Amino acid sequence: MLQVRRLVKKYGDLVAVAGVSFQVEAGRIYGLLGPNGAGKSTTIGCVSGLMPPTSGSVAILGHDVVSQGTSAKKELGIVPQEIALYEDLSARENLGYWAAAYGLRGSKLRERVGEVLGLVGLLDRGDEPIGRFSGGMKRRLNFACGIVHRPKLLLLDEPTVGVDPQSRFRLLELVQEQARQGVGVLYTTHYMEEAERVCHELGIIDRGKIIAAGTLDELRAMLGERDLLRLSGRFQAETAAEAIRGLEDTELVQCSDELLTIALKDGSQRLPLIFASLDAVGAKIRETTLKRPSLESLFIKLTGEELRE
């Protein structure tokens, strides 16, 4: 349904996307998980035909986005990261306009607009100018505008940012509902829980590169059964590293004078041993966190950094 091959996008000297490849199948939700600035929106921009790739290719249902843009865009629905709505128009008028942009008209258009309004729970507020809507309501309408023309491929760029918990829950359900109806979904987010909850497959993206990809289970397996231990305090990086490397079944993920990240089996049981070894080289530990295997710990393991919002 969507084929992205070795996509590269540069803004001048800055390489925002550095050779990304993935594909999205009908009825599946593919997640791009990564921190701010990782290149998610840029990838969405290239997929939607908004910006020409520097190199590489994007094909939607076999239509190349650059050379067959119009055919490709017909199949595409987009829920942009920034809300994209006419503030002076009502929800119904906003939906009507975007439906018309995809060729719907007359009674078909009106029916579909009503249906989508119901879907996102805005039927009773459909005729108000949306200037008065809350952030969550606008987000839901923003989503509705992306699906009003029944696209085969849906692109969602961090659709739940700044949304209250109820709206977020509803939005995630709606996305899953789209997939159940056979729509292929590309879903970007920097929320681990979201990615773990809705995505069938995932690509973890950092600095324009997909650093790990696969199903949730495959990704968990990459981490092994190991926990992730993070220690902050004052260390001498060299000697601390030495001390940790001496231990069995531990892997030093990252090491500096303030922070140590260690992947290890049965973390909770082996904490005293670790403390003792570090104490022996004069390290002062201020804070300890131990994480069970998760996408987050995988991300930290892969990049040495936490996935910040």
Partner 1 sequence: MSIRFVLVTAQKDLRRLGRDLRALAIWMGIPLLIGTLFSLAFGNGAGVRPKPHLLIVDQDQSFVSQALVGFLGSGGPEGFALVDKVSFEEGNRRIAEGDGSALLILPKGLGLAVLEGSPATLHLTTNPAQRILPAMIQESLEILCEMVFYLRRLAGDTLSKVAGWMSGEGGMADDAAVAALAVEVKRFTEGLKPYLDPPMMSVQTEVETVENPLAKGAGYLMAPGILFMSLLFMAQGLAADLWTEREEGTLWRFLTTPRRVGNLVLGKTLAGFVLMAGVSVVALLLGAAAFEIEVARLPLAALWASFSGAVLLLLFQALFLFASSRKGASLLGTAVVFPLLMLGGSFFPFEAMPDWMVAAGRWTPNGLAVSELKAILDGRWEMMGLGSSFLILSGVATVAVMVGSWRMRRGFLST
C-alpha–C-alpha distance, residues 2 and 178, integer Å: 16
Among 7, 31, 34, 143, binds ligand ADP (CB under 6 A): 34
Pair of tokens at residue 50: 């908004």
Size of the site for Mg ion (CB under 5 A): 3
State the minimum distance, in angstroms, from the CB of residue 307 to Mg ion.
14
37 lies in the binding site for ligand ADP (CB under 6 A): yes
Comparison of 40 and 140: residue with beta carbon closer to Mg ion: 40
Q: What are phi and psi of 301, to 5 degrees?
A: -65, -40
Pair of tokens at residue 69: 């843009």
C-alpha–C-alpha distance, residues 246 and 22, integer Å: 39
Window of 29-37, 172-180, 231-239, 275-283 that interacts with ligand ADP by CB under 6 A: 29-37
State CA 304 to chain mean position distance.
Answer: 19
169 lies in the binding site for partner 1 (CB under 8 A): no
114 lies in the binding site for partner 1 (CB under 8 A): no
Sign of CA dihedral 40, 41, 45, 48: positive
Task: State the helix-helix crossing angle for 295-303 and 216-223, rounded to 10 degrees.
Answer: 50
- Identify residues 33-52 at the interface with Mg ion (CB under 5 A): 40-41
Window of 10-18, 174-182, 220-228, 229-237 that interacts with ligand ADP by CB under 6 A: 10-18
Comparison of 174 and 205: residue with beta carbon closer to Mg ion: 205
C-alpha–C-alpha distance, residues 112 and 42, integer Å: 31
String of contacts with partner 1 for each residue 54-83, x by CB under 8 A: ---------------xxx-xx-x-x-x-xx
State the minimum distance, in angstroms, from the CB of residue 186 to partner 1.
13
39 lies in the binding site for ligand ADP (CB under 6 A): yes
161 lies in the binding site for partner 1 (CB under 8 A): no
88 lies in the binding site for partner 1 (CB under 8 A): yes
Please report, in angstroms and rounded to a whole number, the separation of the first and last CA atoms in the chain.
Answer: 30
C-alpha–C-alpha distance, residues 218 and 220, integer Å: 5
40 lies in the binding site for ligand ADP (CB under 6 A): yes
C-alpha–C-alpha distance, residues 52 and 56, integer Å: 10
- Where do contacts with Mg ion occur on this chain (CB under 5 A)? 40-41, 81
